[in-house]
Structures are given as structure tokens and as C-alpha cells.
A and B are shown apart, each in its own frame.
Chain A
Amino acid sequence: MQADTDESLLKRISAGDQRALRLLMDRHMARAIRLAERVLRDSAAADDVAQEAFVRVWKHASRFDEDRAQFTTWLYRIVMNLALDRARRPGHAPLDDALDVADSAPDGEETLVRRERVRLLGSGLAALPERQRAALTLFHLEGLTGREGAAAMNVSEKSFESLLGRGRAALKAWVSASTKGRTP
């Protein structure tokens, strides 16, 4: 039996079928949470954004036009809008301490240096303007193309490229400056 496509589930959702929504969430909720957390660096806020994103899907399923975009592109855009809105709220501060990931490898000098670089990069990511962090996330971590990333952020490809370039340059500078600052 052929599984329902996302787009056919959306048609059922627009007719009020909650079971179809449940199926769609089973497929994509993890992706929505992770994308939001990559942008927000805050797991509680990410959970909230992902849930709100699927409430929007439920409410506006009839507006989705499968001739214009895939469901995942639409979902990316909804999550990204909500996450960027949340990131701009006063009081929101990305967390960078969640990046101290336990490593079972022996603590050789090389491992320690690498871990420190990763920790610095995590701090640098948290310090980036949210739109640059979002662009880097979409391109490098979600694996979207420039065109797909631009569509998800609702900006032109040129603007997306600019965000990517500035974000990467800022990260590189951050790691370099931090390393020099710590090295005698």
C-alpha cells in the first residue's frame, strides 16, 4: 500500500481530519523542533515554536498550494518565521552551554583542542545575529540549497548568500579571536 504523501495529508487536514495531522506530525515534528532549536539555541522555546507551527498548519492547511511548493518548504518557512519572531523578543537569549557534549574518546591533547574549538564555535553561533544563524543552519545543517534556504527565509537568493557569507565570516573571526585571546 502506498503511503499518503504530505500533500494529500494536507488536503485531509484542510477538511478537518485530525488523524491526518497526527500522521504529518509523526513525520515532521522532530524536524521542526530541531530546526527551531538550531535557530533559538533554547530547547523549551524550540518546543513551543514547533507546536505553534503545527497549529498554523492545522489552521491554514487550505492555503497550501502544492503546485508552488513542497510541504517541507512551507513548514520550514512557518518554523523559521516563528523562530525569528521569538528570537527578536526582548529577553530571549540563546544558550550556548548546551553544546558541552560528552565525549567518550580519550582526552588526548588533540581531542581537547577540538572540543575547545567546538565549544567556541557554539558560543560564536549563539552570538551571531539570528538571521545569519538561521541561514547557516538551513544551508549547512539542514542541507538546503541557496534557493531553498532563501524560500524558507522569504528573502532573495542574493540576500540569503549575503547572510551566509557574513555569518561564516563572523564565525571564523570569532573562533580566531577567541583562540588568540586564550593563547599566550
Chain B
Amino acid sequence: MMGKEEFRETAMIYGADLTRWPAGLRAEATPLAAEPWAVAWLAELADLEADLAAADVDAPTPDRVGRAIAGTLDRIAARPRLSLGRLVAWAVAGAGGLAASAAFGMILALHGPLAPPALDPIAFVIEAGDLALPGLGG
């Protein structure tokens, strides 16, 4: 059996409209709702709820809604989501890059640095010297 205090506490949660109370609590509360103290308590809460509704923000205008929709589409265009196709493309690109890196590494391992001779002045000088010496000495 619901007492006065529980009625007031429940009304503070679910408000002045008993039809919005959970069914079980409503069934217990209904016999009390006609008591003068309950009528006064519910009326006070009903006033508060009416003021709450009156203090509500306005519904957005159609223009504002339209701007928000356009803004959302802009954001989506700027930040494309991950799709399977995009992931596959990234994976293929990544795998291609890895394969190229691996092949390059193997070439380095087998043949040493691949820097062009022209970029290595010391090697170039020695090579030139080697070629010239026999003639000078002959």
C-alpha cells in the first residue's frame, strides 16, 4: 500500500500526470490521488510542468534545418568514411609499397649501395686515376 510520502516521492519523479506513471505505481496511487493533500501536491507539480513547457526552446525554422542538413553533407564530404573498397585500395597500395621496399632491400643486400658513380667523387677520382696511370707511366 502506497503511503503519503511514497506518493509525493513518486510524483517528484514521474510528475503530475498519473497516466505517465508506471502501471504498477499508478494502480497503487490512484486511490490516494483524490485526497486533498494529493490534489494540492499534483496541482503544484502541474504548474511547474506548465512553466517548464512554456520555457521550452522554439522549434528550429525550416531555414535553420536546411542549413544543418547542408552542413552535415559538407562534413561528410570532407571526412569520407572507411569503406571496404577504400580499405582494399589502401591495403593494395600498402602491400605494393611493402613489396617494392622488400625488393629494394634485396637488391641492396646483393649488390651493395646503388648510388650512381657520378655522385661519389672519391670513387670517380680513383676510377679515373686507374684509367690514366698506365698511359702516364708508359
| Chain A minimum-CB-distance residue to B79 | A55
A130 close to B (CB within 8 Å): no
Residue A164 is within 8 A (CB to CB) of chain B in the complex: yes
Assess the B52–A136 pair: CB atoms within 8 A.
yes
- Give 1 or 0 for each of A1-40: 1 = CB within 8 Å of chain B CB: 0000000000000001010011001100110011001100
Cβ distance B58 to chain A, nearest Cβ, rounded Å: 8
A26 surroundings in chain B (CB, below 8 A):
69
B57 close to A121 (CB less than 8 A):
no
In chain B, what residue has the closest Cβ to A157?
Answer: B22
The binding surface of chain A is classed by DSSP as helix
How distant is the Cα of A54 from the Cα of B54 in the complex, in angstroms? 29
Chain B interface main SS type? helix
Q: Does B12 contact A (CB under 8 A)?
A: yes
Asked if residues B12 and A165 are in contact (CB atoms below 8 Å), the reply is yes
CB distance from A125 to the nearest CB of B (A): 6
Interface range on chain A: under 10, 10 to 19, 20 to 34, or 35 or more?
35 or more
| Docked-complex contact B72 and A51, CB < 8 angstroms | yes
What CA separation (Å) do A130 and B37 show in the bound complex?
Answer: 32
Q: Does B95 contact A (CB under 8 A)?
A: no
User: What is the CA–CA distance of A181 and B68 in the complex, to the nearest angstrom?
Assistant: 41
Chain B residues with CB below 8 A from A54, complex form: 72
Question: Shortest distance in angstroms between B62's beta carbon and chain A's nearest beta carbon?
Answer: 8
Stretch at the interface among A66-74, A76-84, A85-93, A167-175: A167-175
Q: Do B68 and A47 have beta carbons less than 8 Å apart?
A: yes
- B→A interface (CB under 8 Å): 9, 12-15, 20, 22, 44-45, 48-49, 51-60, 64-65, 67-69, 71-73, 75-76, 79, 81, 83
> A: which residues have CB within 8 A of B?
16, 18, 21-22, 25-26, 29-30, 33-34, 37-38, 41, 43, 47, 50-52, 54-55, 58-59, 98-99, 101, 114, 117-119, 121-122, 125, 136, 139-141, 145-146, 161, 164-165, 168-169, 171-172, 175
Between A and B, 23 residue pairs with Cβ closer than 8 Å are A21-B76, A30-B60, A33-B60, A34-B57, A34-B60, A37-B57, A38-B56, A51-B71, A51-B72, A98-B57, A99-B55, A101-B54, A101-B58, A118-B51, A121-B54, A145-B20, A161-B13, A164-B13, A165-B9, A165-B13, A172-B44, A172-B48, A175-B51
